[in-house]
Amino acid sequence: MSRIRSRAKAFAAVALAAALAAGCSSGSSSGPAAATGTQDSVDAALKAGGEITYWSWTPSAKDQVAAFEKEYPNVKVNYVNAGTNKDEYTKLQNAIKAGSGAPDVAQIEYYALPQFALTDSLADLNQFGFGSFEKDYSASTWAQVKNGNGIYGLPQDSGPMALFYNKEVFDKNAIAVPKTWDEYIAAAKKLHAADPTKYITSDTGDPGFVLSMIWQAGGRPFAVDGRNVKVNLADAGTKKWTAMWDQLIQGKQLAPVKEWSDDWFRALGDGTISSLVTGAWMPGNFISSVPGGAGKWAVAPMPTYDGKPVTSENGGSTQSVLKQSKNPALAAAFVRWLNHGGGVQPFIKSGGFPSTTADLGAPAFVDQAVPYFGGQKVNEVLTQASKDVAPGWTYLPYQTYANSVFSDTAGKAYLNGTGLDAGLAAWQQAIVDYGNQQGFTVSAG
């Protein structure tokens, strides 16, 4: 019995592979691209109504679901906060493996999306004609939800990197806002020498931050082609970043404070950490969680290597439709509403940074003077950053695992001062070994 079933499975896999190959070849040769459908079935499902389950930890999720149900009273959305990032992915992965128990719609961060897309766990939204939304999103976020020819979600937020700095501390120590990384390192040294209790920033080894920095420096350490993965954490761009950041680590210029801890919020408030290179979603967190910094902080473009503006993305999520969904059309309708309809405004209101070009360009958004930042029009800086994101970035198809072993490998460079290159080489080894065990063909270099 089980043998028959596994044989049927194998047959299905072969058929699927053949279909994929056919699709790819027709796509590459000027024929019609991936199979696209229309939004008719989505509209019909919305009219018919029904019930779906939604997993998310976005603070605005509750309000969004309430607003959606008000607009479509015949649809019931069971909102479940199934855990934040990794916790949710663990549960999703288990439910997928078990074949039941997954929600219809789930929030998935961009870095984790390839892992679910590649294991064929998500519905390709091309079948509902969502491919036509491309022009409505910033190029960098659209690239994140695309995998091959498939579209596996609609972008929710975006995190173009920028420099947040404590103007009060900078002014007091006569430090100009650094435009290049050389100036940034000089500022770090000057500040710490003048006041040993103050640091330019903190970093205890956060893989998401590291990848964003490599991305900005021009490094493209991961290349993915189906099940073939190439890893090179020693390419020119990566080395450019390690050479720069090593100066801060080995010069002990980084505050030893863990991100998102109570200490970290405290250090941001009292000036111990005087700048932060992070995603454009940060202002909301400043306002809600760092009351002590009000009126002191300001935003500037991310420093670069040659002074020309270029930045990268940090963080950001999408909402995807799971293959397990019994009503994928209705689930897709909800996703469309969330990130391409009525759900966008409540999200921006809760402090999220949108990925829709219309909202990024809206005067009400761009010209808003934010009192916390001393009346600065912070969105002006941040929307510009969203246009300066360097293209061509790819995450690993098993990035959540890779991130989970970061501190055991590359993290050592932060503790022992052994140098980031050696640390990244150890990380690369772990990534290659794991990938090959999981059935990928991973090569280094």
Partner 1 sequence: MATLSVTRPKKSRTLTAVMALYLLYTLVPLMWLVINATKTQASLFSTSGLSFGGPFALFDNIAQTFTYNNGIFFRWLGNTLLYVVVGAGGATILATAAGYGLAKYRFPGRRAVFAVVLGAVAVPATALAVPTFLMFSKLGLTNTPLAIIIPSLISPFGLYLIWVYAADAIPDELLEAARIDGAGEFRIFLTVTLRQLVPGIVTVALFTVVQTWNNYFLPLIMLSEPKWYPLTVGLNQWSAQANGAGAQPIFNLVLTGSLLTIIPLVLAFLLMQRFWQSGLSAGSVKQ
Q: Which residues bind partner 1 (CB under 8 A)?
A: 55, 57-60, 80-85, 87, 90-91, 94-95, 97-101, 103, 157, 159, 260-263, 265-266, 269-270, 279, 281-282, 284-285, 288-292, 315-317, 350-353
CA distance 52 to 304: 45
Residue 444 one-letter amino acid = A
User: Please, which residue, 15 or 98, has the CB nearer to partner 1?
Assistant: 98
Residue 160 DSSP class: B
User: Please, which residue, 74 or 84, has the CB nearer to partner 1?
Assistant: 84
Nearest distance from residue 265's CB to partner 1, in Å? 5
CA distance 184 to 106: 39
Residue 322 DSSP class: B
User: Please, which residue, 84 or 404, has the CB nearer to partner 1?
Assistant: 84
CA distance 68 to 417: 51
User: Please, which residue, 303 or 316, has the CB nearer to partner 1?
Assistant: 316
Nearest distance from residue 94's CB to partner 1, in Å? 5
Nearest distance from residue 223's CB to partner 1, in Å? 27
User: Please, which residue, 265 or 337, has the CB nearer to partner 1?
Assistant: 265
With vertex at residue 155, the alpha carbon angle to CA 158 and CA 71, rounded to the nearest 5 degrees, is 115
Nearest distance from residue 161's CB to partner 1, in Å? 13
Nearest distance from residue 14's CB to partner 1, in Å? 25
Q: Residue 109: name the closest of 84, 91, 80 by CA.
A: 84
Nearest distance from residue 278's CB to partner 1, in Å? 10
105-109 and 50-55 as β-strands: parallel, antiparallel, unpaired?
parallel
Q: How many Cβ atoms from other residues are within 10 Å of residue 99's Cβ?
A: 8
User: Please, which residue, 91 or 336, has the CB nearer to partner 1?
Assistant: 91
Say which residue the tokens 């079935």 belong to.
41
User: Please, which residue, 316 or 411, has the CB nearer to partner 1?
Assistant: 316
Nearest distance from residue 172's CB to partner 1, in Å? 19
Question: Is-contact 439 227, C-beta < 8 A?
Answer: yes
Q: Residue 368: name the closest of 299, 311, 291, 318 by CA.
A: 299
Question: Is-contact 337 317, C-beta < 8 A?
Answer: no
